[in-house]
Amino acid sequence: MKRKHKSLSMVEKVELLKKLGKGMSVKSLCEYYGIGSSTVYDLKKQRKILKFFAEHESRNSLIARKTLEGARSSELDSALIKWFKLRRSEGLLSISGEMLMEQARIFHKELNLTYQCEYSQGWLQKFKCRYGISLHKVSGEKRNADTEAAANFVDEFAKIVATEKLLPEQVYNADETALSWYRMPRKTLAQDIEAAPVGGKDCKDRV
């Protein structure tokens, strides 16, 4: 039977090369990874994969990656990831995909790049994949719930219902909706190598 074509991820390619370097036979590697011997010999010639892997910051992003193909402009890519890291180090709590795309357009003009690029969602996904960037929820201030006050209110509420002889259909909950116009979003883009993003106290300015 003809063997089904299999594409190895960057992580698998690095593992294969390391095993090959330690003396594991080509036949054993073919059986383990389900590939042909020609694939092993081709990878053996691509020693730059090991250098690429060693220099890459995020290992998680390499799990799904299968080629060494980089950005169309390494200069823009370098400027954008430096900008992203700087904004994160300054404590900017929320960086969205739209902000990254807009900053890429700015760098495109500043670098006088001649090719056309829309910097769409497709471009954004590839950029995030290259640098192990994903969407994270920003943790707010940690506070313990006042369970004692909640338990006391249950007893107090039961007394009110009994005293006023309220029926179930007379008991309901009402709430309000407010626009916190100065509050930062609770999600941000961050690299996988970062610690979980932690926010501060939310601004209460609202309508």
Instruction: Please write the tens of the pLDDT for every residue from 99-144.
Output: 999 999 999 999 999 999 999 999 998 888 778 788 877 665 545 5
As a whole number, the mean pLDDT across the chain is 79
- Token pair listed for 85: 């890291």
In this predicted model, which residue has the larger pLDDT, 145 or 163?
A: 163
pLDDT of residue 14: 78
Contact between 65 and 10 under an 8 Å Cβ cutoff? The reply is yes
Which of the four pLDDT bands, split at 50, 70 and 90, describes residue 20? Answer: confident
Instruction: Give the domain ranges of the chain.
Output: 10-64, 74-133
Domain 10-64 and domain 74-133 have a common topology:
yes
- Token pair listed for 184: 């930062």
Contact between 65 and 9 under an 8 Å Cβ cutoff? The reply is yes
> Which region among 57-66, 93-102, 124-133, 171-180 has the lowest average model confidence (pLDDT)?
57-66
Determine the average pLDDT of the residues in 173-201.
72
Q: Pick from 54, 96, 59: which is nearest to 189 by CA?
A: 96
Q: What is the pTM of this model?
A: 0.51
- Token pair listed for 162: 């009994």
CATH class of the domain comprising 10-64: mainly alpha
CATH number of 74-133: 1.10.10
Determine the average pLDDT of the residues in 34-60.
71
Distance CA 28, CA 63 (A): 22
